[in-house]
Structure 1
Amino acid sequence: MATSPLIKVSFLGLGSMGNAMAKNILNKGFQLTVWNRTSAKANDLKDAGAHLAVNLREAVANADVIISCLFDDKSCLEAAQGENGYLMGIQKNAVHVNTTTISPNAATQLEELHKQHGAFYIAGPVFGRPDVATKGQLRSFLGGNHDAIERARAVIETYSGGATIIVGDSPAQANVIKLTGNMVLAANISLFGQVYAFNERWGIDHNITHQILGTFYSHPSLLAYEARVRDRNYERSPGEGFGVEGGLKDVNTMLNAGDQVGVPLPFCSVMREQMVTAMGNGLKDMDWSVVGDVARLNAGLPLESQKKK
């Protein structure tokens, strides 16, 4: 397969991340077919020249490379199977790069299903938010057949200006690395909330806490989340950012992956409780960094809506 814009590409799943990634692929001149459960979300891509498929089977029928960006294990497995699932239309030797954050078990299952249809399955979860995706600066963690990865590299690089890292021969390994990255982010978001609540109880100004934390953290993503917790800025537009429900899904996946190999992840259990607490307090639609405010709830400090005017 030639690594050029003549490659026929299919993109499955057009949420805020998927739409941005698909636009980067289309803007690089690739022939692009798109599919989304809600077809109206593909209108902007269709207007820009992409072909809109009626179903998943049709979407991949002529594709050399397939990129998918769905939600979880269930959606990925359901999209693959069934009479109109994409595996019923996939070409032999086609390369499917699944960017969804899923469990290692699901990745292994999908790899086997693709082998049964003569196709290659690559796990390619990405690190970054929708604004990073729009800039084509996501970081991709890749796991699977290395030759297949190279055949799809030109497409992957359209949205992965932040770097592509081949993790190993197994798709499951790439998903483990993505879960590790999200574990670090989620743990630090929770930590920021605890630090601010603790210091606030001791009468320390938030700006001083911010200054001290800035000496320990230099990664832009960490500092961006720290600033959200500092300012208690958890608002997000519908379909943008990363919500509490998505965070809870990933934390549950981390716990299940740890259970599989006998590795307890106690802090993930804490994060799960905090995310459920956030949802129980009506914060489901906020950015997942709102988990930082669970520390305020546990400390008896008021949320913004509870403060007296």
Structure 2
Amino acid sequence: MKITFIGLGIMGSRMAANLLKTGADLTVYNRSSEAMQALVAKGATAANSITDAVKNADIVFSMLATPEVVRNLFFGQKGALAAMQPEAIWADCTTVNPSFSKEAALEAQQYGIRFADTPVAGTKPQAQNAELVFFAGGDDATLATIAPYLDAMGAKTITLGTTGQGASFKMLVNIMLAQSMIIFSEAVILGEKMGIDKDFLLNTLPNLAVAAPFTKFKAEMVRQDDYEVQFPLEWMQKDLHLAALTAYEHQQPLYLANLAKELFASASKQGMSRLDFAAIHRYLETK
């Protein structure tokens, strides 16, 4: 099958590289050409425009920054959907709000395109090592068709049912991720203030049953005060904003997730937006 990958940032570039390892017939498109050339050297074909990228594709994967970017690139008469072949598949890996995924499915349907929402759990190392977990929403036939390619990019796919359910579950994962990082940071900072050795805290707390497992990977960032980006802090703020919008749609209060959103917003305003989201620790140390 002819595969196209749209969006070659931290995650997308590595996901596309893993598709190439399987010998996939892969076309790539990205706003900046530098990311495309790195994949061309590995066997991909670079497209000059998004419409050229998708016009012959059987499956199009997208990994973009925000719902607004997805809308601008895919919707409307000049968008990617209008250029795709009827019955082709669009699998959107972007983290978006569920109502947007449902809107995207309806937009795709207008052009005879099959749609699946396939956001991922994992950051740069998991994308690099094909260890992502996909949360997939869509009909059985569509998900079965894209399954081999999800397997090439990830370690597991959790099928969640109808369109929008993948996006819904990813939202739950990310509000837990954001809050868990804050909880871990507060515990370490308080422990230091009480005179407990920082290295002891960073070595011990992540291994306790009460700790989120991912804190093992973030403890070294905290130790070195080096937050080289794996998952940008600004995108965590964006994901929490989308969760707040979704909660409003369902008339469900999100007390702690909204507090987390404001903490990440404040950290972003302090110049930490392009650091890893674990840099919330650095922000909290100043408070």
Q: Deviations over 1:65-104 (max 9, x none)?
A: 1111011110011111244411111111111111110111
Distance in 2, Cα, partners of 1:225 & 1:235: 9
For normalisation by structure 1, the TM-score amounts to: 0.88
Moved more, 274-283 or 25-34: 274-283
Identify which of 255, 261, 266 aligns with 2:244: 255
- Normalising by structure 2, we get a TM-score of 0.94
> Which stretch has the larger CA shift, 215-224 or 175-184?
215-224
In structure 2, which of residues 191, 208, 221 is the aligned counterpart of residue 215 of structure 1?
A: 208
| 1:190 is the counterpart of 2:192 | no
Any idea what SS the aligned residue of 1:157 has? helix
Contact 1:13 1:35 in 2 (8 A): yes
The residue correspondences of 1:233-248 to structure 2 (distance < 5 A) are 233-236=225-228, 240-248=229-237
- 1:73 aligned residue: 67
SS of equivalent to 1:279: helix
**2:7 corresponds to 1:8:** no
Q: Does 1:19 align with 2:8?
A: no
The 3-state SS of whatever aligns with 1:167 is strand
Q: CA RMSD in A?
A: 1.7
In 1: Cα distance, 2:254 partner to 2:33 partner: 39
Residues 185 and 293 of structure 1: CA distance in aligned 2, closer, same or farther (over 3 Å): same
Aligned residue runs from structure 1 range 1-309, under 5 A? 7-160=1-154, 162-170=155-163, 172-210=164-202, 211-216=204-209, 220-229=213-222, 231=223, 233-236=225-228, 240-298=229-287
Instruction: For residue 281 of structure 1, give the secondary structure of its aligned residue in structure 2.
Output: helix
Per the TM alignment, residue 217 of structure 1 is displaced from its structure 2 partner at its CA by 5.0
Separation in structure 2 between the aligned mates of residue 191 and residue 226 of structure 1, nearest angstrom: 13
Query: For the structure 1 residues 228 and 47, does the alpha-carbon distance in structure 2 shift closer, same or farther, using more than 3 Å as the test?
Result: closer
**Quick one: percent identity of the two aligned structures?**
25
- The CA deviation string for residues 142-183 of structure 1, in whole angstroms up to 9 with x for no partner, is 0011110101111111101x210101112x111111111111
Distance 1:26 1:101 in 2: 23
What is the CA-CA distance between 1:11 and the residue it aligns to? Answer: 0.5
Question: How far did residue 242 of structure 1 move?
Answer: 1.4
Paired residue type of 2:192:
E
Q: CA deviation at 1:255?
A: 0.9
d(CA) in 2 for partners of 1:267, 1:232: 28
| Partner deviation per Cα, 1:235-267 (whole Å, 9 max, x = no partner) | 21xxx4112211111110111111111111111
CA distance in 1, matches of 2:52, 2:205: 55
Change (3 A) 1:212 1:15: closer
Alignment partners' CA distance in 1, 2:225 and 2:94: 26
Structure 1 residue 46: Cα displacement? 1.5
The gaps in structure 2 that reach 5 residues or longer are: none
Which deviates more, 100-109 or 32-41?
32-41
Query: Which letter maps to 1:278?
Result: A
Contact 1:232 1:290 survives alignment (8 Å): no
Partner Cα distance (2:240, 2:14) in 1: 25
TM-aligned CA deviation for residue 16 of structure 1: 1.6
Cα distance change, pair 255–234 in 1 and its aligned pair in 2 (3 A):
farther
Counterpart amino acid of residue 204 in structure 1: I
- Unaligned runs of 5+ residues in structure 1 are 1-6, 299-309
CA distance in 2, matches of 1:241, 1:222: 14
Higher-Rg member (1/2): 1
Q: Hey, what's the Cα distance between the residues in 2 that align with 1:208 and 1:51?
A: 49
Contact kept, 8 Å, 2:227 with 2:278, in 1: the verdict is: no
Alpha-carbon deviations, 1:253-292, whole Å to 9, x = none?
1111111111111112211221122123232232111112
Q: Match for 1:128: what amino acid? A: G
CA contact (8 A) 1:67 1:97 kept: yes
* Aligned partner of residue 188 in structure 2, secondary structure: helix
